Amino acid sequence: METPHRVSTLELFFDLVFVFTITQLTVLLADDISFRGAGQVLVIFTVLFWMYGGYAHLTNQVPPDRTVRRVLLILAMGAFLVCALAVPTAFGAGGVAFGLGYLFVVLVHSALYTQAHGSGVLWFALPNVLCALAVLAAGFFDGPPAWALWALALLIQFVVPQLVQRAAASRAEPDEGVTTVSDQLGGMSAEHLVERHGLLLIIVFGESVIAIGIGTGSLPLSAGIAGGAFLALAVASALWWMYFVRDEGRAEEVFAETAPEKRFKLAMLAYYYAFLPMLLGIAAFAAGVKKTIGHLGEHLHTGPAFALAGGVAVYLAGDLAFRAVLGIGPARFRLAALVLVLATVPVGTGVAGLWQLVALVVVLLGALGAEVRWTPGCRAAVTGSG
């Protein structure tokens, strides 16, 4: 039986600092709702979230219970803060600062893993350093060369898991007392992994609420703005419900039932590849709210309307992938919701932003209601969850 391993307050503090990068990405997208802006947000956050996942796996197996580890983790927080501050200009004047901060994040991560596992970290430390150097090099260029270097960083990132898994698969019979790569990556605590990512997600939801306040700015609090804020909160609450009321508990059960040596691959699929669009979806929705909340009675431009609907749709796509990886069903109601939320874009552009928010709430509540009504066991999960 596994020893209980819960998330420490320092890890939660780390997550609060990291989520500032998502806040900055929301600002970046709100200032440039275009394919170019969306592309920048996508590549920046994909690179950043890779190392967030690295730290989540790190503290799962190397808890910050010693002074040296705590100090190094705080230094990494400072480096993530530098990255966050440089996000708005990461494809411009702030590119070098972003790259230096990211390189330091990688070096601290490697140092912490080395403290516990020795030279085995080289399998993933060296590719991570190469990725960081590509990001740093991108800061010295503009236009296509910068994009090419960012693409190289992403390519290196997606190769890393394959290298790690091959290293684990090809290990010889370990000598007694020797820690192998597969031991490092497989011996993760299921409850810590699920709790850590759930806390990250709830903090990101909090950032979407902050976007409501930022969007209102100095506008007087009218009945329309109050109603729009309530509707935006209702959308965020429905998205919260989709993950936390049933999926989080089921995910912990699945990971607990999975053999330790298979957890790394499952964690990569569920909490990196599937979680990435969920987090980006919340950021995109928050950007749409920020641009919409002060213009609720007006026809929206295509960008804000698509950010609202597209953000929810991307979140649902990630949620569907998460459920598919862990074998959580059903999918049909959320898949229908994904299609229907995209159909709300003409409501925002042709009628008003307020009515698009109403339509989003109706679609999401309809999907949740259908699940409770027609999914065996879902009603019990809803009434029995916190």
Please indicate, yes or no, whether residues 223 and 163 belong to a single structural domain of this protein. no
The pLDDT confidence band at residue 176, using thresholds 50, 70 and 90, is very low
Q: What percent of the chain has pLDDT over 90?
A: 66
Residue 192, domain member (yes or no): no
End-to-end CA distance of the chain: 25
Supply 344's token pair: 């709300």
Please indicate, yes or no, whether residues 219 and 149 belong to a single structural domain of this protein. no
Residue 290 has pLDDT above 60, yes or no: yes
Residue 191, domain member (yes or no): no
Please indicate, yes or no, whether residues 218 and 181 belong to a single structural domain of this protein. no
| Contact in structure between 219 and 311 (CB atoms under 8 Å) | no
Nearest of 183, 181, 186 to residue 166 by alpha carbon: 181
What is the rounded CA–CA span in Å between residue 24 and residue 47?
A: 15
Residue 196, domain member (yes or no): no
| Contact in structure between 95 and 146 (CB atoms under 8 Å) | yes
What is the rounded CA–CA span in Å between residue 127 and residue 118?
A: 17
Residue 285, domain member (yes or no): yes
Please indicate, yes or no, whether residues 213 and 180 belong to a single structural domain of this protein. no
Please indicate, yes or no, whether residues 374 and 248 belong to a single structural domain of this protein. yes
Please give the average per-residue pLDDT across 68-88, as a whole number. 96
Residue 198, domain member (yes or no): no
Please indicate, yes or no, whether residues 253 and 328 belong to a single structural domain of this protein. yes
Residue 63 DSSP one-character state: -
Supply 327's token pair: 């074998």
Please indicate, yes or no, whether residues 14 and 54 belong to a single structural domain of this protein. yes
Please indicate, yes or no, whether residues 145 and 230 belong to a single structural domain of this protein. no
Residue 3, domain member (yes or no): no
Please indicate, yes or no, whether residues 150 and 44 belong to a single structural domain of this protein. yes
What is the rounded CA–CA span in Å between residue 65 and residue 83?
A: 26
The pLDDT confidence band at residue 173, using thresholds 50, 70 and 90, is very low
CB atoms inside a 10 Å sphere around CB 259: 8
Tell me the pLDDT tens digit for each residue of 334-349: 999 999 999 999 999 9
Over the chain, what is the mean pLDDT?
A: 88
pLDDT of residue 187: 62
Residue 311, domain member (yes or no): yes
- Over its C-alpha atoms, the chain yields an Rg (Å, rounded) of 21
Please indicate, yes or no, whether residues 328 and 260 belong to a single structural domain of this protein. yes
Q: What percent of the chain has pLDDT over 70?
A: 87
Count of helices and strands (H, E) across the chain: 17, 0
Residue 298 DSSP one-character state: S
When divided into structural domains, the chain yields a total of 2
What is the rounded CA–CA span in Å between residue 131 and residue 42?
A: 16
In one-letter notation, the amino acid at residue 216 is: T
DSSP 318-351: HHHHHHHHHT----HHHHHHHHHHHTTHHHHHHT
| Contact in structure between 341 and 315 (CB atoms under 8 Å) | no
What is the rounded CA–CA span in Å between residue 100 and residue 122?
A: 20
Please indicate, yes or no, whether residues 80 and 117 belong to a single structural domain of this protein. yes
**What pTM value is reported for the model?**
0.90
What is the rounded CA–CA span in Å between residue 266 and residue 193?
A: 11
Residue 128, domain member (yes or no): yes
The domain of 218 spans 208-384
CB atoms inside a 10 Å sphere around CB 104: 18
In one-letter notation, the amino acid at residue 311 is: G
What is the rounded CA–CA span in Å between residue 308 and residue 290?
A: 10
pLDDT of residue 67: 93
Contact residues for 324 (Cβ-Cβ < 8 A; gap 6+): 331
| Contact in structure between 304 and 33 (CB atoms under 8 Å) | yes
Please indicate, yes or no, whether residues 54 and 108 belong to a single structural domain of this protein. yes
Tell me the pLDDT tens digit for each residue of 200-214: 999 999 887 887 777
Tell me the pLDDT tens digit for each residue of 19-61: 999 999 999 999 999 999 999 999 999 999 999 999 998 898 8
